Structures are given as structure tokens and as C-alpha cells.
């Protein structure tokens, strides 16, 4: 299995690490640490040196309860970072649910559209169809401001899988090549603790849907609940454990804050499998 993202192509025989760069003052995990273009770019270079093959740049916090950020402000935050990193030859993903932001970042050299709203907007779908970028379809029940109020599922793994397959099929129908598509079950986005646990346990099922599967468990509240660690930045070990478990079950893209420890854990997994 391979994942084609504009001028990049990833051989997914081994998992690929996607390093997270939040250019936000209010991210749940590291708000404000990399909120200037210079610090964000320096951090991205560090993540690449530690083993990241992709840099995911986001300018809007989508933590539970977060309000929606205006697209012009989001673009002010992310565009200089995307432009600089792409000019340096890095594979850059833009993490956004706003088509104007994604369009400008694609023009600046972004190679992946990571849409946390799961390609609900026709304009986002058209951007995917009109480019050669890789796409990440994420499942989210509701909106960030209200998604954790009362999420409901009959069978969360089956329902999330059905949504991801439906959206993937829709994108293929409008001209997005299947080898450009990656799917993400969206842990923490409209899911309770038990829903998240079922999704992690169901990684193998989701990995067998025919598209590369992303595991994006890093520093999430679910990891804090399991580990008893309150501060997101201190959930490094729990996050690495979830990432490695997901990789052992077939996840091919690991979206993480802490690249170096995850890369080390992956080397152990690869040595024994």
C-alpha cells in the first residue's frame, strides 16, 4: 500500500510519522509554544530530524468546546509556516476545516488536506478533486463546540467505518484517486471514553477497509483517562503506547506530538515483528 500526496509518495510497508505543529495560542496540548512562524518552523525541522516524514500544520484549536476561528485569522497563522516548510522540500499537511485556508495553503505548497470535518463541505471536496494533494478523511460527530455533550452510537466501529467509506467513495466519484486517500476515525471527536476504547480495539477492522489508516491518539483526553496523567504534555508514554499498538494492528500513518519517543518505540516493534 502506498499513499500519494502531490509530489510525495509514501511506501506504507512501515508506518509513517506525521509530526504535529500547532500554530495556535490555545491548543489543548501545547498552546502558545509554537505560535510564531519562526518557532513553528524550527520545531517542524526538529520533528523531521527525529523521524517525521510529514508535518501537519494547524492554526485552529478543535479541542472539545472550542469555538470556530475566522478563516482570515487561521490563514494569518498558518500560511507563512506552510510556505516556508514547503519551500524547504518538506511534505506539509494543512489541518483545517475551512476551504479558503486550504486553498491558499495548497497554492503555497501543502501536499495534504487534513480535514477534521470529514469533507462535509462541497467546496472542500472540490479542492481535493482539483488538486493532486493527499487527503485525510476524519470522522467527527457534531462540531468541536458541542461534540462531547452527548455523543451516541449503536456500534461505533461499524458506524465510523461506514462514514469513512462513504466519504472516500464520494471523493473517488468526483475524481480523487483512491491512492491519495487516508482515513482517520477521529478519536476524541464526538466520542466518549468507551467509544474511543472500542475504536482503538477496532484498529484492525478499520485498517482493513482498503485505505491507509491514520492513528491520531497523541495526548488526547482518552490517553489521560487511561493513564491518570492530567497534563497533556506529560502523556508522552501513553501516547507512544497507543501509537505502537495501532501500528501493530495495521495503522500506517501515526499523527503524533512526540516524534522521537514514538520513533524509538516503533523501532522496537519492527525488530520483534
Given the residues 77, 167, 220, 252, select the one marked as catalytic: 220
DSSP state of 213: B
Which runs of E-coded beta strand occur in 52-91? 54-58
Q: Which of 261, 264, 259, 263 is nearest to 45 (CA)?
A: 259
Q: Which of 197, 198, 82, 185 is nearest to 133 (CA)?
A: 82
Give the Cα separation of 198 and 196 in Å (integer). 5
Which runs of E-coded beta strand occur in 8-70? 8-11, 16-22, 54-58
For residue 197, indicate whether it is catalytic.
no
Give the Cα separation of 94 and 58 in Å (integer). 6
For residue 255, indicate whether it is catalytic.
yes
The residues annotated as belonging to the active site are: 220, 255
Amino acid at each position: 500500500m502506498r499513499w500519494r500526496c502531490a509530489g510525495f509518495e509514501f511506501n506504507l510497508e512501515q508506518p509513517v510519522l506525521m509530526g504535529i505543529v500547532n500554530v495556535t495560542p490555545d491548543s489543548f496540548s501545547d498552546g502558545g509554544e509554537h505560535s510564531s512562524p519562526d518557532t513553528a518552523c524550527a520545531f517542524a525541522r526538529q520533528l523531521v530530524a527525529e523521524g517525521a516524514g510529514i508535518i501537519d500544520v494547524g492554526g485552529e484549536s478543535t479541542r472539545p468546546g472550542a469555538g470556530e476561528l475566522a478563516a482570515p485569522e487561521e490563514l494569518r497563522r498558518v500560511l507563512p509556516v506552510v510556505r516556508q516548510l514547503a519551500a524547504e522540500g518538506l511534505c506539509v499537511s494543512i489541518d483545517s476545516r475551512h476551504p479558503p485556508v486550504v486553498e491558499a495553503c495548497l497554492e503555497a505548497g501543502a501536499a495534504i488536506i487534513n480535514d477534521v470535518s470529514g469533507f462535509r463541505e462541497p467546496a472542500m471536496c472540490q479542492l481535493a478533486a482539483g488538486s493532486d494533494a493527499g487527503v485525510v478523511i476524519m470522522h467527527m460527530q457534531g462540531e468541536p463546540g458541542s461534540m462531547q455533550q452527548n455523543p451516541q452510537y449503536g456500534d461505533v466501529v461499524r458506524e465510523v467505518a461506514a462514514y469513512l467509506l462513504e466519504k472516500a467513495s464520494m471523493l473517488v466519484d468526483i475524481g480523487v484517486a483512491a491512492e491519495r486517500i487516508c482515513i482517520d476515525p477521529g478519536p476524541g471527536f464526538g466520542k466518549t471514553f468507551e467509544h474511543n476504547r472500542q475504536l482503538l480495539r477496532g484498529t484492525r477492522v478499520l485498517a482493513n477497509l482498503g485505505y491507509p489508516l491514520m492513528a491520531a491518539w497523541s495526548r488526547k483526553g482518552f490517553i489521560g483517562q487511561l493513564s491518570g496523567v492530567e497534563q497533556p504534555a506529560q502523556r508522552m508514554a501513553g501516547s507512544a503506547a497507543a501509537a505502537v499498538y495501532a501500528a501493530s494492528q495495521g495503522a500506517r500513518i501515526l499523527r503524533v506530538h512526540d516524534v522521537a519517543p514514538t520513533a524509538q518505540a516503533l523501532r522496537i516493534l519492527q525488530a520483534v515483528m
